[in-house]
Amino acid sequence: MKTMLVVLAVLAVVGGGTVALVNHFGGWTTLIGKAWAITYEVSAQPAETAVDLTYTESPDRDRKETPRPVSVSAPLPWTHEVVINAGEKASVTATPKGDQQLSCRILLDGVKELAGAAAAPGQAVRCEATMSI
């Protein structure tokens, strides 16, 4: 009987410590996040031109964290795959360096279009979508 009480006491301490540690790091939903693979696409008329791009990506698919912005300059057409955690916003913005007419899309798993937009010549274009939970 004494051994069983010691075992139960150890299990209570270990279990309580685990719960306290998980809560310290934001809870189970923070430690084990659900994430989506998405593809950003930006194209232009005329097609072969460079633009300034800003897009979001989650730093870690296994932790629920706010997506971080990334800025690059790249030739078009441009395609980039990232991971966005569930409940977070995916976005891509492209700014032309001239009078190009830009368009963008956000695709889920490279197939389903979540967002699409086109801009007037010389104007920036922005696509954004909130990833479902």
Given a contact cutoff of 8 angstroms between Cβ atoms, the answer to whether 54 and 71 are in contact is: yes
Q: Which amino acid is at 32?
A: I
pTM (2 d.p.) = 0.72
CB atoms within 10 A of CB 4: 8
- 49-102 confidence digits (pLDDT tens): 789 999 999 987 777 778 899 999 999 999 999 999 989 999 999 999 888 899
Pairing of strands 101-108, 68-75: unpaired
- 87-114 confidence digits (pLDDT tens): 999 999 999 988 889 999 999 988 999 9
Residues in the chain: 133
* Structure confidence at residue 107 (pLDDT): 97
How far, in Å, CA of 34 to CA of 132, rounded? 10
How far, in Å, CA of 133 to CA of 121, rounded? 36
